[in-house]
Amino acid sequence: MPNKKKNKAWGEPRICYYCGQRADSIDHIIPQAMLRMLASLADIEITRHLLRNRALKVWACRECNSLLSDSLQESLRERKNYLKIRLLQKYHKLLAIPKWEDNEIEELGYTLRTHIEASIRAKEYIKKRLAW
């Protein structure tokens, strides 16, 4: 994480660029491993091309940062789209749960009702992140 002086320059509050949730990490848009590899190759032109007119870091939540890992995309928009595909893959079962009517949920026992309600909240949370 950046130090406090850098945090102020980045502004508050910290919002994940990719999903809109609270950010607690920084995503290196050009993965650090790739920058180290390019530096070791000493190919200045390729490195300049990658760095030209690009943001190098954005705030991200840990899950988005982890899902992006060391992938490289041509633009932030492509990076965001790539992440949305990864989120859809990860949460496809949760997103597929059927819609429940309130009267259906009320008929359930406590344990199943609690589980279904938690799943519905989680589904809405993921849908909100995908819509960001």
d(CA 16, CA 13): 10
Average pLDDT, stretch 102-120? Answer: 97
> Which positions ≥6 away from 38 have C-beta within 8 Å?
46, 47, 50
The string of pLDDT tens digits covering residues 17-74 is 999 999 999 998 877 666 666 666 666 676 666 566 566 789 999 999 999 988 888 8
* Among 7-16, 33-42, 105-114, the least confident range: 33-42
> Which positions ≥6 away from 80 have C-beta within 8 Å?
17, 18
Q: How many CB atoms lie within 10 A of CB 116?
A: 16
pLDDT of residue 79: 92
pLDDT of residue 9: 46
Please check the confidence at residue 101 and state whether its pLDDT lies above 50. yes
- Residue appearing with tokens 């920084």: 26
Please say whether the beta carbons of 130 and 87 come within 8 A. yes
50-78 burial string, b = 16+ CB within 10 Å, else e? eeeeeeeebbbbebbbebbeeeeeeeeee
Q: Which tokens hold the place of 110?
A: 């406590």
